[in-house]
Amino acid sequence: MTLDQIRSFYLVAKLGTYQKAADRLNATQPAISARVAALETRLRTKLFDRTGHSVTLTPHGRRFLSYAEKMLELMNLAEIDLSRGHEIGGVFRIGASDTMIMSWVPEFLLELGNIFPELIVELQVGPSPRLRDELIAHELDMAFIVGPVTAPELISQPICECPMVLTAAPELGLHGKKLKLEELERFNMLTFERKTQPHQKLKRDLRARGVSARLNPISSLATGVLLATKGFGIAALPLVAVEDEIAAGRLMLLDSELELSAIQFSICYCDGPDAVLASRVVDAALDHLRARESRESINISF
C-alpha cells in the first residue's frame, strides 16, 4: 500500500471519476485505475462500484475513506512539521475576488513566497460564486471571497469588510454637494456583476429607498473603475478599489442620501487532509492582515 495509491483512491472518491482524479494529479486515467486496483488487491476488497464514467463507494470503500483521510492528513502534518515549511512544494491553487486582488492580497502573496519558498502559487481571479463552486469541486485549494460562505465541505474564516462608496469623474460635477435620491436615477450606476452578493445588496439598498437606478453590472472591477474615470456614470464600488483614483483626482467621492452596505470577505478552503497546508496559509494571511490593522478602506473583522 503506497501513498500514491491512497491519494488516488481519495481523489476518485471525492471527485467522482477517475479522469478528474487523474487531472488533479497530472496523471493518466489508466495510471489512476491501476493504483486503485492495486489498492483493492492489497486490501482484498472492492472499494468502488463502477457505472459508466462515474463511480460510487462500496460499503468497504466508505469505511476505508476515513482511514485514507487520516493517513493523508498525518503525512501532510509530518511534512510541514519536519521541514518547517521550507521544503513544502508543489502547486497551491488560490482564488481571489477582484476586490481582494486590488487591495492586500498581492502583498500577501509576496510574503507567502518567503514562508514557503518551494510553493508554486496558481492564482485564479474571478467572481465569488464561481470561486466557491471551484473550491467545492476541488479545483482550488483556498479562496479569498465574499462571505461568509455556508457549505458543509468548506471551512470559512471571516477576515474583513470593505465599505462601499459612490464615486464619479469630476467632469460630471456631482461632488461637493448632497445628492438627492432622485438625482441618482439620472445616471448609469456601475457595479459588480449580477450574480454576486454585492450586486444583490446594492439592489436591496436601492429598493429600500425607492430608487430606480440604471444599474450597469461589470464583470471586471478594474474595468468598472476605468469606465467611471471616463465619466460613464456613477460607480458603486468598494472604497479600496478606487482610493488611488480618488487620491489622484481622477474620481471624486460623492455625498448622497443613499447609504450602502459594506461587503464582507472570508477565507475559505476545503475540509479534509489537504486542509493542513491550507490552514497554515490562512494563519499567514491573518498575520499579514493584523500587521496592516484596520483602516478606512478595509476593516479587519476577526
Last residue of a domain, one of 83, 105, 120: 83
Each residue's pLDDT expressed in tens, for the chain with a length of 302 residues: 898 999 999 999 988 889 888 988 889 999 999 999 999 999 999 999 987 667 899 999 999 999 998 998 888 778 777 766 555 667 899 999 999 999 999 999 999 998 888 889 999 999 999 999 999 888 899 999 998 888 888 999 999 999 999 999 999 999 999 999 999 999 999 999 998 999 999 999 999 999 998 999 999 999 999 999 999 999 999 999 999 999 999 999 999 999 999 999 999 999 888 888 888 899 999 999 998 888 888 999 88
Helices 275-292 and 105-115: angle between axes, nearest 10 degrees: 120
Both 8 and 79 in one domain: the answer is: yes
Both 145 and 212 in one domain: the answer is: no
Domain that holds residue 185: 164-261
What is the model's pTM? 0.81
Both 240 and 279 in one domain: the answer is: no
Both 29 and 173 in one domain: the answer is: no
Residue 75: how many CB atoms within 10 A of its CB? 15
Q: What is the CATH number of the domain that holds 144?
A: 3.40.190.10
Last residue of a domain, one of 29, 50, 83: 83
Residue 188 has a pLDDT of 95
Residue 86 has a pLDDT of 54
Last residue of a domain, one of 51, 83, 115: 83
Question: How many domains does the structure of the chain reveal?
Answer: 3
Q: Give the model confidence (pLDDT) of 78-125 as tens digits.
A: 877 776 655 566 789 999 999 999 999 999 999 999 888 888 999 999
Both 200 and 278 in one domain: the answer is: no
